[in-house]
Each structure stands twice: as C-alpha cells, then as structure tokens.
Amino acid sequence: TAWSRGFQFAALRPARGGVRLGLAVPLDADLRLVPPAREGWSERLTAVCVLAGPEAVDNDLAALLRLAWSRS
C-alpha cells in the first residue's frame, strides 16, 4: 500500500512477523529506521521501520509520518 500527496511519502508492505513501513524521511530521524533493502518501491522512501504489531505505532511514528507527508 502506497501513500502519496505530491509524490509518494510512505508505503506499507507485509513482512515476516509484521510489516515494513517505508518513509521519505532521513535515516537519522529515528533510531528504529534502517536503510531500505531492495524493497522495490519508490527511491524517495529512504528509510524503513519494521513494525511487529499495532503496539509499535506510537507518537514518534506518527510524527515521522507527518514529517514524510509534509515533505511530499
């Protein structure tokens, strides 16, 4: 699932044990972010966060989504 406004700012893909969330934010924006590894999605998505379940969605992750959205 991809999200875009002016251009793609996030994408979500199922992964073993959870989901992978790709974001158009700098890697240093959060300690949970890692570089994408052959994800096959937009090159704008420069950081990935692996989420094991709904409990992983917190205020920091919401702030990252808002940052990615505002940059799109």
Asked if 56 and 62 count as a contact pair (C-beta separation under 8 A), the reply is no
CB half-sphere exposure, 12, CA atoms < 13 A: 9
pLDDT in tens, 18-42: 999 999 999 999 999 999 987 777 7
pLDDT at 37: 83
Q: What share of the chain is helix, strand, coil (3-state, %, to 5)?
A: 25, 30, 45
pLDDT in tens, 14-23: 988 899 999 9
pLDDT at 41: 78
Q: Tokens 């505002």 label which residue? A: 70
Decide if pLDDT at 43 tops 90: no
pLDDT in tens, 47-70: 999 999 999 999 999 999 999 999
* Tokens found for residue 8: 């793609």
